[in-house]
Amino acid sequence: MRRGDQPRSGGARPATLLTPSLLWIAVFFAGPLLVMAVFSLARRGAYGTIDWTLGLQNYAQALDPLYLTVYGRSLWIALVTTILCFAAGYPAAYAIAMKVPARWKSTLLVLAVVPFWTSFLVRTYAWRFMLQDDGLVNAVFAWCGLPAQKLLYTDTAVMIGQVYAELPFMILPLYAAIERLDRRLLEAASDLGASRISRFVHVTLPLTKSGIVAGVVLVFVPSLGAFITPDMLGGAKSMMIGSLIQEQFVQRNQPFGAALGNLLAVAVLILLAVAWRAGARDEARA
């Protein structure tokens, strides 16, 4: 090897190494996107066939007031889910990163992701048993002398299920950001007279912004397009975008389903762009 050459392992070129994954992405990611784009311009034909007269009518239909409430509810539930995940996740991540003895950290982090060891469907079924009218939650309510609550098939049930499902995705990036936080900066803030609250607002929060942005994106985006939780815990009354899209494909209206899917993807891309800009500015300052 000449001096100055990049050390190479096995002599494989970058192109060789990247080809399999690039092919994978082309076939299974870019391909379906293209199919979706074309489908969304077609129309529903008779008896479940597709009429290949291309036009924008599906996008016009997507703006029908009938569906706007579904988008609104989806945004609302995703927003509340994100806020609740942040409210529950930040203290947890802070405690694991700053307060807990070092030997407990990895155990607690593993505990945060332990739910992933079981199928998501199974866990969501478990929530049904907990939330149904004669379920565990109402049993506890009754034991406490509280009136029974209608929980299953409500927005509340969806939010509970979503927060449960998404919380680890909030805790992990927040933990990473808080762990990186320079403790001396906290001492400096106290030294300059900042109270604990002021120190948190003006030093801790801004300096863990990258983790907050990552956590919010990781929770908000899947929540917005969630399908299993709203379907199983929310039912028909609490329909969200994910269920709406799924319904189109079941009812053989693939063109409209494709259009809805594309709109959701564009909305998510816009959100990611905003988040990336916020994060990028953060990096430039750090």
Partner 1 sequence: MPPVGAGSLVTAVVSVRSVTKRYPGVAAVDGVWLDIEDGQFVTLLGPSGCGKTTLLRLIAGFETPDEGQVYFGTNDVTHVPPHERDVHTVFQQYALFPHLSVADNVAFGLRRGRVRRPAGEVARRVRESLELVRLTGYGDRMPAQLSGGQQQRVAIARAVAPGPRILLLDEPLGALDRKLREAMQIELKQLQRQLGISFVFVTHDQDEALAMSDVVVVMKEGKIEQKGEPSEIYEHPRTRFIAEFVGVTNVIVGDVESIDAGLASVRTPAGIVPVSAAANGGPALSMGDRVSVAVRPEKIRFAEARAAGAIACRVEDARYLGDVTHWRVRLLDGSTWTVFAQNDGTPEPLEPGAEVGLVWESNHAVRLES
List interacting residues with partner 1 (CB under 8 A).
182, 184-185, 187-196, 198-199, 202-203, 206-207, 209, 282, 285-286
> 163 or 178, CB closer to partner 1?
178
Strands (E), the chain: 43-44, 50-51
| Least distance (Å) between residue 203 CB and partner 1 | 6
d(CA 277, CA 191): 33
| Least distance (Å) between residue 83 CB and partner 1 | 23
In degrees and rounded to multiples of 5, residue 182 shows phi and psi of: -75, 115
Which DSSP symbol is given to 54? -
Return the closest-CA partner of residue 75 out of 275, 245, 271.
Answer: 271
> 202 or 277, CB closer to partner 1?
202
**242-250: long-range contacts (C-beta < 8 A, 24 or more apart)?**
242/74, 244/67, 244/70
| Least distance (Å) between residue 190 CB and partner 1 | 4
| Least distance (Å) between residue 170 CB and partner 1 | 21
> 150 or 180, CB closer to partner 1?
180
> 237 or 285, CB closer to partner 1?
285
**Bridge-partner residues for 51, per DSSP?**
43
Strand 50-51 relative to strand 43-44, pairing: antiparallel
Structure tokens at 172: 């992990």
> 13 or 285, CB closer to partner 1?
285
Question: Cβ contacts of residue 38 below 8 Å, gap of 6+?
Answer: 54
Q: Report the length, in residues, of the chain.
A: 286
> 133 or 187, CB closer to partner 1?
187
| Least distance (Å) between residue 226 CB and partner 1 | 33
Structure tokens at 89: 């996740």
CA 64 → CA 76, 246, 263, distances in Å?
19, 18, 14
d(CA 71, CA 37): 20
| Least distance (Å) between residue 104 CB and partner 1 | 18
Structure tokens at 147: 């009136």
| Least distance (Å) between residue 90 CB and partner 1 | 18
d(CA 63, CA 69): 10
> 62 or 189, CB closer to partner 1?
189
> 25 or 188, CB closer to partner 1?
188
| Least distance (Å) between residue 208 CB and partner 1 | 10
d(CA 230, CA 165): 12
